[in-house]
Amino acid sequence: NAGVTQTPKFQVLKTGQSMTLQCAQDMNHEYMSWYRQDPGMGLRLIHYSVGAGITDQGEVPNGYNVSRSTTEDFPLRLLSAAPSQTSVYFCASSYVRDRGNEQYFGPGTRLTVT
Amino acid sequence: AQKITQTQPGMFVQEKEAVTLDCTYDTSDQSYGLFWYKQPSSGEMIFLIYQGSYDEQNATEGRYSLNFQKARKSANLVISASQLGDSAMYFCAMREIDFGNEKLTFGTGTRLTIIP
């Protein structure tokens, strides 16, 4: 198993550009989520999905879109990048409906918006 | 109100000593889960330990144990016999299911530095 993979590892965007952060998992996990990590603020939930075709907003969803057409993939789209979106982005997955299931995290994408 | 509070932004501990990282949480759910993750300087998130709200025994995983005090809503991580490789950021997190939706909320973390 590759676990949770994220691409790219690093990205620099100009303000107003759009891009998609890719996330895939091969563990057949129903639950997938995106977090952003900013200094001094821990990880904050952006969007999550409890299965293919189902997505919902987390704590900080503005400026981001997601879709879940397959169990394996959960891309995060930045529609018009802003400097405030400079952050490290983590994708995670787990089995759903069991509070004891740990979330498996991808290696992260470091995004800089200039 | 913060769902997860970690009051120690940074700690310095001598190698081989035990260390306790504090975590308090706030929820009205009866059923929830508490996690600790380690993030070394390389950036990956590493799962350490889990405690369920109905678990009567404190969770243990090797040198890690979770001191769960439900009435006080605290879930402190205890690392015994600290090692240099324990230097990292540590995050406490809580998993709730709210109206069928799952949410994992993280604290702001504690940076632990082990001194030789």
Using one digit for the tens of pLDDT, what is the confidence trace for A2-16? 799 999 999 999 999
**DSSP string of B13-46, one letter each residue:** EETTS-EEE--EE----SS-EEEEEEE-TT---E
Is residue A43 within 8 angstroms of chain B, CB to CB?
yes
Nearest chain A residue to B36, by CA: A102
Please answer whether residues A9 and A91 qualify as being in contact, where contact means their C-beta atoms are separated by less than 8 angstroms: no
Question: How far apart are the CA of A66 and the nearest CA of chain B, in angstroms?
Answer: 16
Q: What is the pLDDT of residues B59-104, one digit of tens each?
A: 999 999 999 999 999 999 999 999 999 999 999 999 887 666 677 8
For residue A52, the surrounding DSSP H or E stretch is: none
Q: What is the pLDDT of residues B19-54, one digit of tens each?
A: 999 999 999 888 889 999 999 999 999 999 999 999
Question: How far apart are the CA of B44 and the nearest CA of chain A, in angstroms?
Answer: 5
**Cα separation, B28 vs A100, whole angstroms:** 18
Residue type, B100: G
Between chains, do B47 and A33 touch, taking CB under 8 Å as contact? no
